[in-house]
């Protein structure tokens, strides 16, 4: 007698199942509605008013896209940062590890879900901008824009994977998430050019995918060549994926071998 | 008869001391137990780190958008970050009672409710003040914030009163949290809306009329305006009107908070809704 | 590949130590031996009980068998597959259910929870619907599956757990204290459900610290104490370990530790256990002597008020107490 399950569940199936499941689960959380919908609307409104009353020349679309991406970062940060702790708190972590699906693919699906939900922020800020501030959505390279969005989502989702796996070592992951929201908005130039910041901020931004994601999105919307930034986003995603899965394999080993990282 | 008087007298005097014991000692213990961000590993990133970067973020955004000088953003945000404690802290000290399931035990005690309630606000206010002071220091160290040293006492007074008023608002959310299920949603939202509407980052007169109307009924708005005037050298007397309005708003919310607390206490006994989730 | 006739679950001299550290300034490294050489074998279709007090090493043992912990030494095989080397293959062949109300996604429905785990276990999409329907029927949750789990009672959660553990129709099922915290009626239903698993040809390992549960359900029992198996056999065989003994139950109002120590030293006494009741303690004294030991026992209480005194035949619980207390 054999079980009906499979000894090795294919990675794409695990990722897809977790992506869908996590999105469903997260949208039932009011905190997530706040982070992905309300907070970006409020921040974009602040930016619109500041740009208008400061007489900042240039497009309000610049601000709308930046605020949208700020939302993707918040969504990824709060969704992925405490992911493993949350599963542990619920008592589901050991069930996930005890399943024949590879834990790293489970996490890839879940962290991608957190950045995907950030698309609500982009849609929300663009729509809000159009309705309340008459910001037209005129895209310089529509096809590249459509390509840049999912690339950015993957870039942030895989960064979320790195967060999920490293935050395990920090007991209060939510506090760390609270800390990292504004600084990443700053050093990745989502709303303010990094050139206004001290010199050391820019190199920090280079290794973070939102820097390249926002460039790819802005150039494809407002004009310019988005292709190099698009490639950088994809390149970083691959790097994050390699680093993140290594960390997770390490976490799993420590948990099973020395029981130093508790599963429950 | 003397014995009788003594017996009657004893509870009287001890009820006064117990009022203060409940007020101070009780308040602080409860704060430590309920306000689960008190641990350094949580306090430093949340209460100090997050405000630090918030101030840097908006000051730079201000510089880029050309809204105002750095002082505008440092004062606005340094006063507003007190709500890290005054909103979240106050909400937690009350709402977490329910979350931890200790509310029933609390309401079973004979402790004076006003003392119980006010006691909880003291550490929240102290912490809010600390976060604001830290905000001003950040501004001075990283953003070339400057103001006449002679104005510091007056500014300190105004900031303290604004923190008190903001705590009144936070306690109202906390009282609602005794009954409502997801009050942290409301406290998060309140925190963000303050950034938008209370003149923290956007001059009030650039806001549409309906937002201006709301901002006048919120705590912080008048306090921040007063603080900005003081930082630019105005006298305490010239901002007296603003301070009075700020305090009146805070007191109104504080009174509402206590009334709600008592109401929920009474109705929870009637309808057994205490531990209902 | 499983060999015909070979045990389905096999533990050979399993050991597990934990490293912990104590002290805040001078951190001392401590090694705690949670499981100290546990061996047993479970045959196909058997319902095997692992019985022991809290902290005896039951959960550590089960976690090694389900691949969540790697043994410090020793080996274990499930269906002939090594739990360390073939971990993933083992995982697909076993179901794991633990007691308590954690381990579920609260905000989602019972159905969502089941669908998700069906995916994680690689149950084919066309199979999922039928299988989930069957299981909901079996655990009596049909009609409630679309409600959010946060509204479920303890019993419903536990039944959902069982359904979740059986989604991929595993030939081997591990149940770690599945009835904990469930009300008596719910626990009885749960036991009926567990008993039906072996009817379906499954092999079951059950841990519990309820004696009557082990007695009612298990074909064989291993009693585990302080990380070691102290006895193994059918419930009947375990009972026969104490068959020649008598149990004297004494109700005492306020007994002190000294009296209990003195009781243990009375000649012929093999084990003493204390159960706290409302205002009194119920002492259960096992001895090989018979009821005539009673006066000698009663002489050991200095003035404490004594209630009912009864001598009776030993039960499985007494066997368990004598085993767990025996060589302490």
- The 10s digit of each residue's pLDDT in A162-174 is 999 888 877 777 7
**Is pLDDT at B18 greater than 60 in this prediction?**
no
The helix/strand/coil state of C177 is: coil
Helix H or strand E segment including A198:
none
Cβ neighbours of A5 in C, within 8 Å = 92-93, 121-123, 167-170
Q: Is A90 on the interface with C (CB under 8 A)?
A: yes
Q: Which of A12-26, A45-59, A211-225, C224-238 shows the lowest per-residue confidence on average (mean pLDDT)?
A: A45-59
Q: Do A50 and B67 touch (CB under 8 A)?
A: yes
Q: What is the pLDDT along chain C (328 residues), one digit of tens a residue?
A: 445 568 999 999 999 998 776 655 566 677 888 999 999 999 999 999 999 888 889 989 999 999 999 999 999 999 999 999 999 999 999 999 998 888 999 889 999 999 999 999 999 989 999 999 999 999 999 999 999 998 999 889 999 999 999 999 999 999 999 888 888 888 888 899 999 999 999 999 999 888 888 888 999 999 998 899 988 999 888 888 777 788 888 888 888 888 888 888 888 888 888 888 878 888 888 887 777 888 888 888 877 788 888 888 887 778 888 787 764 4
Instruction: For C65, name the nearest residue in chain A, comparing CA atoms only.
Output: A98
Does any CB of chain A come closer than 8 Å to the CB of residue C11?
A: no
| Cβ–Cβ under 8 Å, residues C250 and C269 | no
Is there a single domain that holds both residue C38 and residue C178?
yes
Q: Is residue C172 part of a domain?
A: yes
Q: Is there a contact between A56 and B62 if contact means CB atoms under 8 Å apart?
A: no
Residues C157 and C258 in one domain: no
Which domain-ending residue is among C239, C259, C288? C239
State residue C296's pLDDT score: 83
Strands across the sheet containing C81-82: C28-42, C9-22, C73-78, C81-82
Q: Are residues C252 and C228 in the same domain?
A: no
Same domain, C110 and C246: no
d(CA A68, CA B163): 32
DSSP string, B173-236: HHHHHHH-S-HHHHHHHHHHHHHHHSSSSS-GGGS-HHHHHHHHTSSSHHHHHHHHHHHTT--T
User: C103 at the A interface (CB within 8 A)?
Assistant: yes
* C226 plus C253 within the same structural domain: no
Q: Is A5–C100 a contact, with Cβ atoms under 8 angstroms apart?
A: no
Q: Among A4, A96, A257, pick the best mutation site for testing chain C contact (most C Cβ within 10 A).
A: A4
Q: Identify whether the C-beta of residue C269 lies closer than 8 Å to the C-beta of residue C293.
A: yes
Q: Are residues C158 and C259 in the same domain?
A: no
**Domain span holding position C250:** 241-326
Domain count, chain C: 2
Phi then psi dihedrals of residue C308, to 5 deg: -70, 140
Neighbours of chain B (3+ CB pairs under 8 A): A
pTM of the prediction? Answer: 0.86
Residues making up chain A, counted from first to last: 264
If asked whether residues C246 and C234 sit together in one domain, one would say no
The answer to whether the CB of A163 falls within 8 A of the CB of A240 is no
ipTM of this predicted structure: 0.92
For position B11, what pLDDT does the model report? 37
DSSP strand pairing (C281-287 vs C246-253): antiparallel
Task: List CB contacts of C280: < 8 A, sequence separation 6 or more.
Answer: C251, C252, C253, C254, C307
Lowest mean pLDDT among A53-62, A119-128, C257-266: A53-62
With contact defined as beta carbons under 8 Å apart, do A240 and A159 qualify? yes
Higher pLDDT, C204 or B26: C204
Specify whether the CB–CB gap between C157 and C104 falls below 8 A: yes
Contact list, C67 vs chain A (CB under 8 Å): 98, 256
pLDDT in tens, B196-237: 999 999 999 999 999 999 999 999 999 999 999 999 999 999
Chain A: give the shortest CA distance to residue C155, in Å.
Answer: 17
Give me the pLDDT at residue C21, please.
67
| Cα B90 from Cα B126, distance rounded (Å) | 12
Which ranges in chain B belong to alpha helices (H)? 2-20, 27-34, 40-43, 50-65, 70-80, 83, 90-99, 103-108, 113-142, 152-179, 183-197, 209-216, 221-231, 240-271
Contacts of B181 in chain A (CB under 8 A): none
Residue of A nearest to B61 (CA): A192
Whether C22 and C95 share a structural domain: yes
- Indicate the burial class of A112 (C-beta count within 10 angstroms; 0-12, 13-18, 19 or more): buried
Whether residues C120 and A2 touch (CB distance < 8 A) is answered with no
Alpha carbons C21 and C310: distance in angstroms, whole number: 48
CATH of the domain at C304: 3.30.70.1150
Residue B27 has pLDDT above 80, yes or no: no
b/e per residue B40-78 (b: at least 16 CB within 10 A):
eebbebbbbbbbbbbbbbbbbbbbbbebbebbbbbbbbb
Longest dimension (CA), chain B: 80
Tokens representing B225 are 């305006």
- What is the arithmetic mean of pLDDT over B230-254? 95
Distance of CA C53 to the CA centre of its chain: 8
pLDDT (0 to 100) of residue B22: 54
Among C216, C239, C262, give the residue marking a domain's end. Answer: C239
Subunit partners of chain A (3 or more CB pairs within 8 A): B, C
Q: What does the alpha-carbon distance between residue A199 and residue C5 come to, in Å, rounded to a whole number?
A: 72
Q: Distance from C107 to chain A by nearest Cα, in Å?
A: 7
Q: Are residues C178 and C309 part of one domain? A: no
Q: Does A50 touch chain C (CB under 8 A)?
A: no
Could you tell me the CA-to-CA distances from B63 to A109, A258, B68, B136, B244 in Å, in that order? Answer: 39, 52, 7, 18, 32
% residues pLDDT > 70 (chain A):
96
Taking 60 as the threshold, does the pLDDT of residue A158 lie above it? Answer: yes
Q: What's the whole-number average pLDDT of chain B? A: 82
Counting beta carbons within 10 angstroms of the beta carbon of residue C213, is it exposed (0 to 12), middle (13 to 18) or buried (19 or more)? buried
Of A89 and B41, the structure prediction assigns the larger pLDDT to: A89
What CA–CA distance (Å, rounded) separates A27 from B44? Answer: 30
Nearest CA in chain B to A44: B196
Q: How many other CB atoms sit within 10 Å of the CB of residue C108?
A: 18
Query: Lowest-pLDDT range, B99-108, B186-195, B266-275, C284-293?
Result: B266-275
**How far apart (Å, rounded) are the C-alpha atoms in residues A59 and B214?**
29
Whether B65 and A34 lie within 8 Å, measured CB to CB: no
Best-predicted range by mean pLDDT among A27-36, A186-195, B107-116, B182-191? A186-195
- Other C-beta atoms closer than 10 Å to the C-beta of B269 total 11
Would C4 be classed as within a structural domain?
no
Strands (E), A65-107: none
Query: How far is the C-alpha of C76 from the C-alpha of C83, rounded, in Å?
Result: 6
User: What is the per-residue pLDDT for C97?
Assistant: 93
Q: Is the pLDDT of residue B9 over 50?
A: no
CATH code of the domain covering residue C173: 3.40.50.300
Q: What element of type H or E holds C85?
A: none
Say if residue B31's pLDDT is above 70: no
Cβ of residue A21 closer than 8 Å to a chain C Cβ: yes
Kindly state whether residues C80 and C95 are assigned to the same domain.
yes
Chain A, nearest residue to B49 by Cα: A179
Q: Which has the higher per-residue pLDDT, C263 or A23?
A: A23
Determine the pLDDT at residue A90: 87
* C2: in domain: no
Same domain, C101 and C247: no
User: Are C202 and C304 contained in the same domain?
Assistant: no
Domain-terminating residue out of C239, C256, C275: C239
pLDDT band at B7, cuts 50/70/90? very low
Question: Can you give the pLDDT at residue B38?
Answer: 67
pLDDT attached to residue B8: 32
Nearest CA in chain A to B186: A34
Q: Which of A47, A175, A185 sits opposite B41 (nearest CB)?
A: A175
Q: What CA–CA distances, in Å, run from C316 to A226, B23, B263, C223, C273? A: 76, 57, 56, 11, 14
- A95, C117: Cβ pair inside 8 Å? yes
| Minimum mean pLDDT range among A12-26, B5-19, B46-60, C103-117 | B5-19
Whether C83 and chain A come into contact, CB under 8 Å, resolves to: no
The pLDDT value recorded for residue C22 is: 63
Q: Does C3 fall in a domain?
A: no
Over pLDDT 90: what percentage of chain B? 50
- Asked if A58 reaches chain B (Cβ–Cβ under 8 Å), the answer is no
pLDDT of residue A89: 85
Instruction: Please say if the pLDDT value at position A116 is more than 70.
Output: yes
């Amino acid at each position: 007698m054999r079980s009906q399950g499979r000894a090795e569940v294919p990675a794409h199936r695990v990722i897809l199942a977790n992506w869908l499941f996590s999105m469903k689960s997260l949208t039932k959380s009011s905190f997530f509605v706040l982070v992905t919908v309300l907070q970006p609307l409020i921040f974009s409104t602040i930016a619109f008013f500041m740009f208008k009353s400061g007489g900042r020349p240039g497009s309000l679309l610049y601000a709308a896209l930046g605020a949208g991406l700020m939302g993707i970062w918040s969504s990824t940060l709060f969704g992925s940062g405490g992911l493993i702790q949350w599963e542990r708190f619920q008592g589901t972590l050991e069930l996930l590890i005890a399943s024949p699906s590879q834990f790293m693919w489970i996490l890839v699906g879940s962290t991608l879900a957190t950045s995907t939900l950030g698309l609500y922020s982009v849609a929300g800020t663009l729509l809000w901008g159009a309705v309340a501030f008459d910001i037209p959505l005129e895209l310089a390279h529509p096809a590249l824009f459509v390509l840049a969005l999912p690339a950015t989502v993957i870039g942030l989702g895989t960064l979320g994977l790195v967060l999920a796996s490293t935050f395990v070592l920090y007991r209060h992951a939510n506090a760390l998430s609270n800390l990292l929201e504004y600084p990443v908005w700053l050093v990745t130039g989502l709303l303010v050019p990094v050139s206004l910041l001290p010199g050391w901020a820019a190199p920090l931004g280079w290794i973070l995918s939102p820097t390249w994601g926002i460039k790819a999105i802005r150039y494809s919307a407002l004009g310019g060549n988005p292709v190099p930034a698009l490639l950088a986003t994809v390149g970083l995603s691959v790097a994050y994926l390699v680093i993140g899965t290594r960390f997770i394999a390490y976490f799993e080993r420590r948990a099973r071998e020395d029981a130093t990282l508790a599963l429950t | 008869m003397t014995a009788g008087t003594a017996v009657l007298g004893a509870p009287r005097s001890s009820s006064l001391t117990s009022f203060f014991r409940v007020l101070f000692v009780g308040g602080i213990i409860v704060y430590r137990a309920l306000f689960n961000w008190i641990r350094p590993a949580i306090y430093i990133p949340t209460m100090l780190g997050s405000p630090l970067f918030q101030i840097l973020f908006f000051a730079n955004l201000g510089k880029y958008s050309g809204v105002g000088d750095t002082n505008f953003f440092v004062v606005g945000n340094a006063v507003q970050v007190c709500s890290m404690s005054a909103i979240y802290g106050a909400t937690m000290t009350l709402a977490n009672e329910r979350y931890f399931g200790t509310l029933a035990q609390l309401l079973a005690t004979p402790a004076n409710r006003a003392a119980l309630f006010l006691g909880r606000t003291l550490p929240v206010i102290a912490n809010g003040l600390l976060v604001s002071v830290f905000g001003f220091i950040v501004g001075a160290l990283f953003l070339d914030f400057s103001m006449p040293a002679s104005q510091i006492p007056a500014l300190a007074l105004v900031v303290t009163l604004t923190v008190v008023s903001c705590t009144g608002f936070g306690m109202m959310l906390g009282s609602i949290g005794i009954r409502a299920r997801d009050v942290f949603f409301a406290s998060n939202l309140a925190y963000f809306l303050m950034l938008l509407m209370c003149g923290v980052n956007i001059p009030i007169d650039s806001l549409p009329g309906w937002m201006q109307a709301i901002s006048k009924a919120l705590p912080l708005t008048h306090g921040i305006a007063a603080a900005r005037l003081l930082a630019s050298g105005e006298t305490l007397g010239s901002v007296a009107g603003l301070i009075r309005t700020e305090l009146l708003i805070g007191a109104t919310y504080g009174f509402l908070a206590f009334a709600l607390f008592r109401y929920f206490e009474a109705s929870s006994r009637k309808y057994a809704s205490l531990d209902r989730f | 590949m499983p060999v015909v006739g070979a045990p389905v679950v096999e533990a050979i001299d399993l050991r597990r130590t934990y490293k912990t550290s104590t002290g805040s300034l001078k951190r001392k490294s401590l090694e705690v031996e949670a499981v100290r050489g546990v061996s047993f074998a479970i045959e196909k279709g058997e319902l095997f009980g692992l019985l022991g007090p809290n902290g005896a090493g039951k959960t550590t043992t089960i976690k090694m068998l389900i691949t969540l912990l790697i043994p410090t030494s020793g080996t274990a095989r499930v269906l002939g597959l090594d739990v360390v080397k073939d971990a993933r293959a083992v995982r697909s062949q076993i179901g794991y259910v633990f007691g308590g109300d954690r381990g579920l996604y609260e905000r989602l429905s019972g159905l969502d929870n089941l669908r998700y785990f069906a995916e994680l276990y690689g149950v084919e999409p066309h199979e999922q619907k039928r299988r989930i329907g069957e299981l909901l029927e079996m655990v009596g949750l049909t009609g409630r599956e679309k409600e959010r789990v946060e509204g479920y009672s303890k019993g419903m959660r536990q039944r959902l757990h069982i359904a979740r553990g059986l989604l991929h129709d595993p030939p081997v099922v591990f149940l770690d204290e599945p009835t904990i915290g469930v009300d008596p009626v719910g626990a009885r239903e749960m036991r009926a459900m567990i008993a039906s698993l072996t009817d379906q040809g499954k092999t079951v390992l059950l841990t519990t610290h309820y004696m009557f549960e082990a007695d009612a359900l298990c074909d064989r029992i291993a009693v585990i104490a302080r990380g070691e198996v102290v006895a193994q056999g059918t419930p009947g065989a375990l009972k026969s370990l104490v068959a020649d003994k008598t149990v004297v139950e004494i109700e005492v109002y306020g007994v002190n530790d000294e009296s209990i120590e003195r009781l243990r030293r009375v000649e012929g006494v093999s084990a003493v256990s204390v159960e706290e009741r409302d205002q009194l303690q119920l002492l259960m004294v096992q001895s090989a002597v018979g009821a005539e030991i009673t006066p000698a026992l009663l002489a050991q209480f200095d003035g404490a008020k004594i209630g009912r005194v009864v001598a009776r035949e030993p039960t499985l619980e007494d066997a368990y107490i004598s085993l767990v207390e025996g060589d302490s």
